[in-house]
């Protein structure tokens, strides 16, 4: 059965940019893509131009860890299409970034403070050091869920 696109589906790049930069109300209802559409877009890869834009908000060393390249090599990706693994990591990271923005009510300074402060929930590890891996992002999501429910601060 073919995947039917809705009228208001976003491109992967615009979705990622809206999660990192856009208003918190941007990701909702008709503007979201189906899981099959997202898989197809991730398989196709993300434009390096989008990655270039992300560095305005996301620390360069974090982006380079996320994409498994050196900080010097990161800029070479700006003119390329990212592979499926890099694109999947960039998408999931952007989704986590959006979830953190929601949790911290889009207060970027408070969010950055939390990201760059050792956290007892992670055995004193900095949350930023966990963001480059899928398992680390899962752990951060679990922590956010616990904080939202008031289980710990």
How large is the angle between the packed helices 84-103 and 134-149, nearest 10 degrees? Answer: 20
10 versus 88: which is more confidently predicted?
88
What's the pLDDT tens digit per position in 46-94? 999 999 999 999 999 999 999 999 999 999 999 999 999 999 999 999 9
Identify the residue whose tokens are 């940019």. Answer: 17
Identify the residue whose tokens are 């800029």. Answer: 75
Provide, rounded to the nearest whole percent, the portion of the chain with pLDDT above 70. Answer: 88
Q: Is residue 7 part of a domain?
A: no
Per DSSP, the three-state class of 77 is: helix
Q: Is residue 91 part of a domain?
A: yes
Q: Is residue 41 part of a domain?
A: yes
Distance CA 137, CA 96 (A): 7
In degrees and rounded to multiples of 5, residue 26 shows phi and psi of: -65, -40
DSSP bridge partners of 81: 47
Average pLDDT across the chain, whole number: 89
Q: Is residue 61 part of a domain?
A: yes
pTM across the whole model: 0.87
Distance CA 71, CA 61 (A): 6
**Which pLDDT score, from 0 to 100, does residue 10 have?**
81
Average pLDDT of the segment spanning 28-45: 82
Provide, rounded to the nearest whole percent, the portion of the chain with pLDDT above 90. Answer: 80
Q: Is residue 5 part of a domain?
A: no
Q: Residue 120: exposed, middle, or buried by beta-carbon count in 10 A (0-12, 13-18, 19+)?
A: exposed
Number of domains in the chain: 1
Average pLDDT of the segment spanning 17-28: 81
Q: Is residue 127 part of a domain?
A: yes
Q: Give the pLDDT band of residue 3 (cuts 50, 70, 90).
A: very low
**Which pLDDT score, from 0 to 100, does residue 136 have?**
97
Q: Give the pLDDT band of residue 24 (cuts 50, 70, 90).
A: confident
Q: Give the pLDDT band of residue 29 (cuts 50, 70, 90).
A: very low
Domain hosting 126: range is 12-149
Q: Is residue 4 part of a domain?
A: no
Q: Is residue 62 part of a domain?
A: yes
């Amino acid at each position: 059965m073919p995947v039917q696109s809705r009228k208001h589906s976003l491109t992967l790049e615009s979705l990622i940019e809206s999660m990192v930069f856009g208003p918190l109300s941007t990701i909702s209802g008709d503007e979201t893509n189906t899981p099959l559409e997202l898989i197809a877009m991730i398989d196709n890869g993300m434009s390096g131009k989008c990655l270039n834009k992300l560095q305005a908000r996301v620390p360069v060393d974090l982006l380079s860890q996320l994409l498994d390249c050196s900080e010097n090599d990161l800029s070479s990706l700006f003119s390329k299409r990212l592979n499926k693994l890099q694109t999947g990591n960039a998408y999931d990271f952007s989704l986590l970034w959006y979830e953190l923005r929601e949790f911290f009510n889009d207060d970027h300074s408070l969010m950055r403070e939390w990201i760059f402060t050792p956290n007892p929930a992670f055995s004193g590890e900095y949350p930023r050091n966990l963001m480059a891996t899928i398992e680390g992002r899962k752990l951060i999501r679990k922590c956010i869920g616990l904080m939202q429910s008031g289980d710990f601060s």
